[in-house]
Amino acid sequence: MDYVNGAGKKLSVSGAVKSGATKNADGSVSTGNADNNSLHSLGYGKAVSTLIGGGGDDTYHLWSKANVVEKAGGGIDTLISHVETSKLPDHVENLTLQGVDTRFGFGNALDNILTANDVGSELDGGLGDDVLVAGKGIDTIVLRKGEGSDAVYNFNVAQDNVRLSGFGYHDFAELKARMTQTGADVTIALSDDQRVVLRDTQVEALSAKNFELELDRSKLKLTFEENFDKLVTQSQGGFWRTDWGNGGTNDNYRPGEVGAYVNDTFSSASKLLGVNPFSIDNGVLAITAKPAGDLSSLLNGSSYTTGVLSTKDAFSQKFGYFEIRATLPEGKGFLPAFWLKSADGRWPPELDVVEAVGDRSDTIYMSSHTAATGTHTMQSQTTHVDSSEPHTYGMNWTKDSLVWYIDGVEVARYKSPSDATAEFYMMINLAVGGSWPGAPDATTGTGQFKVDYVRVYANSDTESYTSKGETFYLDDSVPHTQGTFGDDLLTGGAGADVMDGRAGHDKMFGGAGNDTMAGGAGNDLLDGGTGADDMAGGDGDDTYYVDNAGDRVSEYYNNGKGGYDKVFASVDYTLTANVEDLTLIGNARSGTGTEQDNILTANDLGNTLRGLGGHDTLYGGRGDDLLDGGAGNDKLYGGAGNDTMIGGDGYDTLYGGDGNDIIDGGAHNDMLYGDAGNDKLYGGPGNDTLSGGYDADFMAGGQGDDFYYVDHVGDVIEELFGEGYDRVRSSVDYTLSDNVEELQLVGPAITGIGNAQNNTLYGNENNNRLYGGGGDDVMNAGLGNDLLDGGTGADRMTGGDGDDTYYVDNVRDTVIEFYNGGAGGYDKVFASVDYTLSANVEDLVLTGTAIRGNGNADNNVITGNDQDNILNGGDGNDTLYGGAGNDTLYGGNGWNTLYGGSGNDTLYGGSGNDTLIGDDGDDQLVGSGGDDRLIGGDGNDVLNGGVGADRMEGGDGDDIYYVDNARDTVTEYFHAGLGGRDKVFASIDYVLGEQVEDLTLIGNAVRATGNALDNFIVGNKWNNGIDGGAGNDRLTGGGGADTFLFSGVSGNDVITDFDGDDRIDLRGWFADGAVDMKKLSIVNGDHGAIVSMEGHGSIELLGVMANQLSVKSWGMITHS
């Protein structure tokens, strides 16, 4: 069968079982397959079995506790339970209760089908849009606000009921107004977004008995309250007595119990036991039951000590609402109880507000006992709670009915016992053992029944209550009630009562009528009830309840003795003088303060709170509130809802809370916090602080120096021109809006961007990206590897620790880096203008039209652009890259490396041992001081190592070298003929290396020697010795008396300027050293004399005739 839930969705039951049943009884693991499986946990032993479903529609049968494991999407699965309480495991869709022992069924977050048994069940679908199927018994359907729209099938109007929690319904008339007949079904609109559908039901067939609603506290009046700030016994003037006994020695002890009721004065055989089962911790009473140990022999064999409290002889009441807020203990053998006994000594009757059995303390028992028929009879109901948490347990006792409540929601109802005719007093105890809970076992240990408070209220049927020996009748027979000098509880009737609390901390309830109430000294509570009441608290910290527009509250300063006073108003209300605190309750909409310092608190309806004068604190509720602080330094808290908040005059602090709020600080220096929601914040005049909080907010500081907190990318800031110096602290990437001057990044924020003004930007510990935009900006990046770009304008940029990158585009830009023990990192500047690196910045890259780039005392890397750059490394061991363009690079001091790049570059190494690399183009490389390395690269380069032992490599092209040190080296490679024709200018005696063609002596050099190539060798003004070596060389002596030397490997050489004192040394032609001049041939050629010898080369002397030569016998030829 298919079902349809309250949201209109069809829900399916599991398919038929295809695989045989797998039964598990010993704690082992049973695993299904891809079919529709049937898996059973039989529960023969104590071990917990594990049932694992497969991919089909699996059915799990639980006869005992078991772990059920089902994967998401693994079919439509069903749990069939035979245990008392069952909650659907994750990913299991449906639950069916079977057998007489099952009682409570709970769904999960899926859309479930829950089916009751035939003896009475409580079904709670939980989250999701569920289907709840009633059975033949008396069933309860539990619905909570916010847990989906459910549908109920087989609902029997004659016996079944629906429990509504959190919806705020107190009577059936309210609920019936929300009902609609839709065909055969009844649809109840529980809230704007939640409904329940009762299938096959008629609206007119439903009645109040079909619904368990919330307690209407507005119809109750407090008569007793114990908050357990301390335990005050009757002997100390309080309400509680601590009875003791065991083995049936008092009427609070059931036969079979093994716990002895004791207190701190209990003794046995004149021996003080020193056991106190009562303790107070932060306003919570604990009754502790623990093993008696060696004390058992002094307790008639009782194995546990425990405690009981009662208000017998101190407080009792006939009819009313009795409530306890408590946490129940867990452990086999424990039986905590809060119950009522008749003050006239009869038993039965007895009324049990809450009882539980310790090993299943999540099952709550609510009972009444009577002897009206002549014999003891009892009626009892159960429900389920999460006993690990505190709950309120209450019972409303009227003439006709007993109605039980848990956490303010009805859970059970019976007729009142007809023999419950007297006042009843209260009992709180923690029993141990007995036939019902059973004896404790080895797992029990120590247990605590924790009680937060006990309260008693009068209802419309309450006739009387007795407090500390004085009986109060709630009717019109006592129009004037006067208290004592102690702590009194005064209650009026339907008439115009007059009450005087006198001294003490009194509680006064006027009831109906126009009452007059005077609290007197002490911290009093005054509640006039219906009617226009006059209430005067007197000295002390007083509390008023106002429920009529005609109520009047009077407080006087009395030299400060008037105390701190509070009003709870269920109507619109304005505080009177000398009353400090106002809280709206009920249907009140408006609350107004005084000229004093007030606290105003809204309810959940959407209120208007106005502080007026004084330094006020205003708290909004869950509705859409208007909060106006007025004059004074106020604090406003919006709470939930879409609130409007106005600070007014004074130095105010405003918190929006949840919702989309509008917050206006007003005049002076205010602090505005939007919190959750899309808020609008207006600072107004003054130096304001604005924080939008979560979500996308709008913030406008107005006039004054404002401070903004930004935490969402959707935050918007509006500032107008001339409205002061404004700052932003942002935890997200952010761009300053117009007319905001300062930005500080915090938290995970990375990027900060300025505007057209003169901004100050601060980074954080992350790797930030700061962009100044227009204006003269100041930027401080802080920790991390940051990027700083000041934009247009003269900017001041400080990177801080880390490897930072700067962009400079204005000659007045300033970059600041500190050494900071080396933590300053490796920093780089990209400059589109001529730029000199500041201290502690290592790297410079020229961009755009920048021409000049200068380093500092650090080891710099400087990179040019496509322009004709001039780069200077300065001090330090620098690396310079010229890039494109005809660049000039100066290494400066230190051991530098210079790369010319493309273009015809000029490189100056400086004083250190430098490396100069020309790269492409016709470059000039000058080493200056130090032992330098010069590499010409492509192009016709000039290489001058300067002083020092230099290494020079010309590379491709026609290169020129300058040699001035005997340890200078020149390297040329053949390189497939691309090496070009290379020349050396030597200021020292020099021998050409391989692949270098030409040599010219300069300076004081005297001797020049060629190589195997066809060399051009040129002397200087001195008397040079020139040896062309192998190859066909062209030799020029220059000025001076030069000697040209030839050897056996000489080729066909040419001397261009043989004259005067020049000589030709031919001894190298004669291998044996003997000069045989007869072998020489000297003839005139086309251009001059030619000297030759068979087997050797020749020498052509340009412009010189043979007859001008003089041949010496020792192998010399001179010019005659």
Digit-coded pLDDT (tens) for 75-105: 899 999 998 888 999 999 999 999 888 899 9
- The CB density around residue 193, as the number of other CB atoms within 10 Å, is 10
Kindly state whether residues 74 and 135 are assigned to the same domain.
yes
Which tokens belong to 42?
Answer: 């039989």
Report d(CA 824, CA 317) in Å as an integer: 80
Backbone angles phi, psi at 218, to 5 degrees: -65, -20
Q: Say which CATH number the domain at 273 has.
A: 2.60.120.200
In 468-589 the beta strands, taken as DSSP E runs, fall at 470-473, 480-482, 489-491, 498-500, 507-509, 516-518, 525-527, 534-536, 543-546, 552-554, 566-569, 573-574, 581-584
Backbone angles phi, psi at 404, to 5 degrees: -95, 145
Q: Is the pLDDT reported for residue 267 higher than 80?
A: no
| Structural domain ending residue among the three candidates 415, 431, 464 | 464
Kindly state whether residues 399 and 447 are assigned to the same domain.
yes
Query: Average pLDDT of 112-118?
Result: 96
Kindly state whether residues 130 and 186 are assigned to the same domain.
yes
DSSP 491: E
β-sheet bridge partners, residue 699? 681, 717
Which tokens belong to 766?
Answer: 């992350």
Kindly state whether residues 232 and 153 are assigned to the same domain.
no
Is residue 381 one of the residues assigned to a domain? yes
Of the pLDDT bands very low, low, confident and very high (cuts 50, 70, 90), residue 1034 is very high
What is the residue whose two structure tokens read 């004065």?
265
What is the CA angle 156-160-165, rounded to 5? 135
pLDDT score, position 298? 82
The total domain count for the chain is 3
Q: Is the pLDDT reported for residue 650 higher than 70?
A: yes
pLDDT score, position 24? 61
| Residues sharing a CB contact under 8 Å with residue 650, sequence separation 6 or more, in sequence order | 615, 629, 631, 632, 633, 634, 666, 667, 668
β-sheet bridge partners, residue 831? 808, 846
Report d(CA 641, CA 656) in Å as an integer: 9
Report d(CA 19, CA 32) in Å as an integer: 9
Kindly state whether residues 248 and 357 are assigned to the same domain.
yes
Report d(CA 648, CA 983) in Å as an integer: 90
Report d(CA 113, CA 154) in Å as an integer: 13
- Mean pLDDT is lowest, of 175-189, 315-329, 469-483, for 469-483
Which tokens belong to 210?
Answer: 């079909």
β-sheet bridge partners, residue 410? 405
DSSP 257: B
For residue 358, give the 3-state DSSP assignment.
helix
What mean pLDDT is reported for the chain? Answer: 91
Report d(CA 616, CA 638) in Å as an integer: 14
Q: Is the pLDDT reported for residue 480 higher than 50?
A: no
Which tokens belong to 581?
Answer: 């605190």
Q: Which of 93, 147, 214, 350 is catalytic?
A: 350
| Residues sharing a CB contact under 8 Å with residue 8, sequence separation 6 or more, in sequence order | none
Report d(CA 887, CA 919) in Å as an integer: 12
Active site residue 355: yes
Is residue 907 one of the residues assigned to a domain? no
Q: Of 490, 465, 459, 493, which Cα lies nearest the Cα of 479?
A: 493
| Structural domain ending residue among the three candidates 214, 243, 259 | 214
For residue 209, give the 3-state DSSP assignment.
helix
| Residues sharing a CB contact under 8 Å with residue 92, sequence separation 6 or more, in sequence order | 60, 68, 70, 77, 78, 79, 108, 110
Kindly state whether residues 229 and 322 are assigned to the same domain.
yes
Kindly state whether residues 419 and 452 are assigned to the same domain.
yes
Query: Average pLDDT of 689-699?
Result: 94
Q: Which of 214, 355, 580, 953 is catalytic?
A: 355
Residues 1039 and 1020: beta-carbon distance below 8 Å: yes
Query: Average pLDDT of 977-988?
Result: 86
Q: Is the pLDDT reported for residue 892 higher than 80?
A: yes
Kindly state whether residues 335 and 190 are assigned to the same domain.
no
Is residue 472 one of the residues assigned to a domain? no
> What's the gap between Cα 145 and its chain centre?
29
| Per-residue pLDDT reduced to its tens digit, 383-413 | 999 999 999 999 999 999 999 999 999 999 9
- Cβ burial of 703 (10 Å; 0-12, 13-18, 19+) is middle
Report d(CA 96, CA 359) in Å as an integer: 24
Kindly state whether residues 203 and 242 are assigned to the same domain.
no
Phi-psi group of 930: left, alpha or beta (phi > 0 → left; psi -120 to 50 → alpha; rest → beta): left
Higher-pLDDT residue of 821 and 931 is 931
Q: Is the pLDDT reported for residue 323 higher than 50?
A: yes
Of the pLDDT bands very low, low, confident and very high (cuts 50, 70, 90), residue 247 is very low
| Per-residue pLDDT reduced to its tens digit, 749-758 | 999 999 999 9
For the full predicted model, state whether its pTM sits above 0.85: no
| Residues sharing a CB contact under 8 Å with residue 469, sequence separation 6 or more, in sequence order | none
Residues 310 and 243: beta-carbon distance below 8 Å: yes
Which tokens belong to 137?
Answer: 């018994």
Q: Is the pLDDT reported for residue 1050 higher than 60?
A: yes
Active site residue 147: no
| Structural domain ending residue among the three candidates 190, 214, 238 | 214
What is the CA angle 784-789-790, rounded to 5? 120
User: Amino acid identity, residue 635?
Assistant: K
Is residue 697 one of the residues assigned to a domain? no
Q: Is the pLDDT reported for residue 543 higher than 90?
A: yes
Report d(CA 120, CA 115) in Å as an integer: 11
pLDDT score, position 43? 63
pLDDT score, position 976? 63
- The CB density around residue 503, as the number of other CB atoms within 10 Å, is 18
Higher-pLDDT residue of 495 and 452 is 452
Of the pLDDT bands very low, low, confident and very high (cuts 50, 70, 90), residue 559 is low
Kindly state whether residues 233 and 149 are assigned to the same domain.
no
SS (H, E, C) 371-430: CCCCCCEEEEEEEECCCCCCEEEEEEECCCEEEEEECCEEEEEEECCCCCCCCEEEEEEE
Is residue 1117 one of the residues assigned to a domain? yes
Is residue 573 one of the residues assigned to a domain? no
Report d(CA 89, CA 467) in Å as an integer: 51
Q: Is the pLDDT reported for residue 294 higher than 90?
A: no
| Per-residue pLDDT reduced to its tens digit, 448-457 | 999 999 999 9
Q: Is the pLDDT reported for residue 56 higher than 70?
A: yes
Q: How would you classify the pairing of strands 742-745 and 727-730?
A: parallel
Is residue 96 one of the residues assigned to a domain? yes
Higher-pLDDT residue of 542 and 1073 is 542
Which long-range contacts does 994-997 make (Cβ < 8 Å, 24+ apart)?
A: 996/954, 996/961, 996/970, 996/972
Report d(CA 102, CA 86) in Å as an integer: 8
pLDDT score, position 255? 62
| Per-residue pLDDT reduced to its tens digit, 430-451 | 999 988 998 999 889 999 999 9
Instruction: Name the CA dihedral angle for 369, 371, 372, 377, rounded to a multiple of 10 degrees.
Output: 60
Q: Say which CATH number the domain at 194 has.
A: 2.150.10
DSSP 48: P
Q: Is the pLDDT reported for residue 311 higher than 60?
A: yes
> What's the gap between Cα 677 and its chain centre?
16
Sign of CA dihedral 407, 408, 411, 414: positive
Is residue 362 one of the residues assigned to a domain? yes
Kindly state whether residues 209 and 235 are assigned to the same domain.
no
Kindly state whether residues 198 and 337 are assigned to the same domain.
no
Q: Of 320, 318, 356, 352, which Cα lies nearest the Cα of 336?
A: 356
pLDDT score, position 980? 85
pLDDT score, position 248? 42
Which tokens belong to 166?
Answer: 């959190």
- Cβ burial of 407 (10 Å; 0-12, 13-18, 19+) is middle
Q: How would you classify the pairing of strands 662-664 and 680-682?
A: parallel
Residues 316 and 263: beta-carbon distance below 8 Å: no
- The CB density around residue 452, as the number of other CB atoms within 10 Å, is 18
Residue span of the structural domain in which 109 resides: 2-214
pLDDT score, position 326? 97
Residues 77 and 58: beta-carbon distance below 8 Å: yes
